[in-house]
Structure 1
Amino acid sequence: MAHGQGVGVCLAATSPLVFCQPTTLCNLDCAYCYLPERTTARRMTVEVAAAVAAAVSGWSRLHPVRVLWHGGEPLATGLEHFSALLDKFGPGRPHPVRHAVQTNATLIDDAWCEMLAERGVEVTVSIDGPGADNAQRPDRSGRSSTGRTLAGIGRLRAHGIPFGGIAVVSDPTPVAAERLYGFVRDLGVRALGVNLAEHKGAHRRPGPRAGAADFWAALAGAWRADPAVPIRDFDQAFGYLRDELAGTAESRAGRPFSPLPLITWDGDVVPLSPDLAGFSSPRHGPFTAGNLRDAPLDTLLARAPDLPWVREALDGITNCRTTCDHFAYCRGGQAANKYFETGRLDTTVTDHCNSSKIQLMEGLLRHARPDHRPHSQDPPGTQGPGPQP
């Protein structure tokens, strides 16, 4: 079931994942944060939540749907208000509508744990590693947040609530990779996602990143030595490699694109590339497809491919498909990375796709080569960047 297209690119009519922004406020002041309104306390109304619930309940007839509450800091909306938002969602039909929250865990206490466990809300905690590796996540007074995050994790563990981890890595070195993996393994993280700090939104990181393949290779080595924690980024790469071996990579490349919409606190709908929420283009205006006050989510998504900025983003995916050998793997990247790095949505290669996709694959493939040696045994001058597209 799909609608609309750029040249050769179809946007699916529904999505297995919907992002919701319960509040714009965050109680931390991370150095790499890209969000534009994180110092302002604006909360999603229950009416907006009800409008989202009406759409995803219908989608759950077709496939499972997960609602990811993503801020700001979602728990900054308050326990009572967050519960009221969840109340607007039924169980789904016939598939259950699942809920997940991405949090810095500093606000988690026993009451939060009881609610999360009762509602079956999946939890992912943002923490970048031990000691100085987490130093770019201070609170608004400049104080370290690490102790409070670890305390929140301790409450989750005490209540038997499994949790995933998201780490943002600003200095991707082999030593940092090994340190990160050992840290999350010892924390009991059930799965890890790794984001290299990006040039995106309010955060400006100068220049392309060299040597990311060394980081990914070291992370793969640590994981292979003790595969206790699944790594999201490797699972995605292995999925592509399985398709290549099975001869189905071409069909993978041709699947309709899930829009992955984000619903902002006030009901604006960002139909694709959620990190564009809250931003505007001088050429296109706000990166939205409209507001839930004016039309249902299904209608706004159906109209999205007619919007100039969405057409430009779909053209960017088409351009990737026709020019990049890695398309079946990354399927065109994210429009937000293209826009914040280049000012356009229809470009192709970005620093993000090079460091987080191409060099990631290079790092993984080092372990598949017969002559592979651990990074510490590589002779000087052999740890260069991965291949360019």
Structure 2
Amino acid sequence: MARSSSLVLLQPTPLCNLDCHYCYLPSRGLARVMSHEVADAVAETVGSWSRHHPVTVLWHGGEPLTMGVSRMRALLDRFPPGREHPVRHAVQTNASLIDEAWCRLFRERRIEVSVSVDGPGPGSARVDRGGRDATDRALRGIGLLKDHGIAFGAIAVVSEPTARKAAELHQWFTALGCRVLGVNLVERKGVNTRTVHDDENVAEFWAALAACGRTDRRMSLRDLEHAWRYVRAELAGVAGRWAGLPADPLPMVTWDGQVVPLSPDLAGFSSPRHGRFGVGDVRELGLAGCLARAEETPWVAEALAGVDACRAVCDLFAYCRGGQAANKYFETGRLDATETVFCRNSRRLLMEGLMRDAERVTGKACARPTD
């Protein structure tokens, strides 16, 4: 595993003001806030890493905005601007709590904003603790971002993927002024046990989204851009080099200083065999120190063995890079499994959707990775 990362996730609080039906987080009712000591320990490593490469700190809850502007500002103050390279900040928010004060902070600190909102249609799964739909509140927050000239991206969770749904999402988010859209199909993960088992509709969903993105380029599509980068690398004959690179850490530091060095969705969970998913307290070891000891931790070693297993059997390994340990664990109970429903829906069937769209444009059959 690599010893540094260009992206660090921080959970300033596990608390969320919403209670979305598909949420996987176990402690979203816990009102706790990250201390300055935890932020200081992370900031020290982030500052050191910025000598070598840019670093983005992504504030990701829970709902980060539940902690209030003053507390967030105080945590941001602990971080250096960067040394040879910049340290940037980003926030993932449901947007329902955005107000003028938050917009001033976003502009002042140049914080990149991504909004969790699922698009149009009745029966939204994004509800508050009283069961009330939260979409209108998110749209009010987005309206304030636009009033202040703050660009935003979005992540939408899709429970019933179809070609029609893809077209609706693309049209809605483009009209909203979204800069980049990521799509997460509902996953069996954490406390959520639902997932999507519909290969044909999933493939058609991705094919339709690819067609929308090809004909209207006003909005970037996160998942498809990732796939097209891989396709271009394959055509250039360089994708094979990606397979041999060290596994990228994606460290998550929880509100209480625990470090999860990869697959941040494991944060807050425990395994009967491995105990709590973590490698140490950032206040005691520092973030770099936690990453340095990660491979010696049994659960991380098992997860890396799963990456090796994927490398040995998966024809798309250079694209998916071994999947996510969290999905493997929550679907199979182990971290060293190979194919999951998640990687089938969001990698293999996404690639199938791209091929279908290409065939419809060119009238020619495309070679599948399994050919």
**Under TM normalisation by the shorter chain, which class is it?**
over 0.9
Residues 1:263 and 2:248 aligned together:
no
CA contact (8 A) 1:354 1:388 kept: no
Counterpart of 1:40 in structure 2 is 30
The reply to whether residue 155 of structure 1 matches residue 139 of structure 2 is no
Question: Are 1:293 and 2:283 matched, yes or no?
Answer: yes
1:314 aligns to 2:304 (yes or no):
yes
Counterparts of 2:304 and 2:198 in 1: how far apart (Å)? 26
The alpha-carbon deviation at position 388 of structure 1 amounts to 8.1
Distance 1:220 1:317 in 2: 28
Give the match for residue 197 of structure 2: 208
| Matched letter for residue 346 of structure 2 | S
Cα RMSD (Å) of the superposition? 1.5
Over residues 108-159 of structure 1, what are the superposed CA-to-partner deviations in whole Å (9 max), with x where a residue is unaligned?
Answer: 01111001100000000011011326x1001111111111100000000000
Corresponding position: 1:199 with 2:193:
no
Whole-Å separation in 1 of the counterparts to 2:267 and 2:140: 31
Whole-angstrom CA distance in 2 between matches of 1:366 and 1:177 = 15
Distance in 2 of aligned mates of 1:146 and 1:206: 22
Structure 1 residue aligned with 2:76 = 86
SS in 2 for 1:149: helix
Query: Is 2:103 the counterpart of 1:113?
Result: yes
Distance 2:344 2:369 in 1: 8
Instruction: Give how far 1:207 is off.
Output: 6.6
Structure 1 residues 257-293: Cα deviation after superposition (integer angstroms, max 9, x where no partner): 2211000000000010000000000001011001123
Amino acid of the residue matched to residue 253 of structure 1? A
What secondary structure sits across from 2:348 in the alignment? Answer: helix
Aligned to 2:85, the other structure's residue is in SS state coil
**Cα separation, 1, equivalents of 2:220 and 2:139:** 21
Cα distance in 1 between the residues matched to 2:361 and 2:292: 51
Structure 1: gaps (5+ residues): 1-10, 374-385
SS of equivalent to 2:76 = helix
**CA drift at 1:372:** 6.3
Q: 2:153 aligns with which of 133, 157, 164?
A: 164
Match of 1:183 among 165, 172, 180: 172
Distance 1:145 1:24 in 2: 19
Q: Report the secondary structure of 1:296's partner residue.
A: helix
Q: Which residue number in structure 2 is paired with residue 303 of structure 1?
A: 293
Task: Quickly say closer, same or farther: Cα 1:123–1:365, change in 2 above 3 A.
Answer: same
Name the aligned partner's letter for residue 308 of structure 1.
P
Partner of 2:216: 226
TM-score normalised per structure 2: 0.96
Q: Residue 47 of structure 1: CA displacement?
A: 1.0
**Match status 1:99 vs 2:89:** yes
Question: Between the two proteins, what is the percent identity of the paired residues?
Answer: 59
Q: Is the 8 A contact 1:165 1:193 kept in 2?
A: yes
Tell me which amino acid in the other structure corresponds to 2:245.
Answer: R
Is residue 2:338 matched to residue 1:348?
A: yes
Residue 90 of structure 1 aligns with an amino acid whose one-letter code is P
Equivalences, count? 366
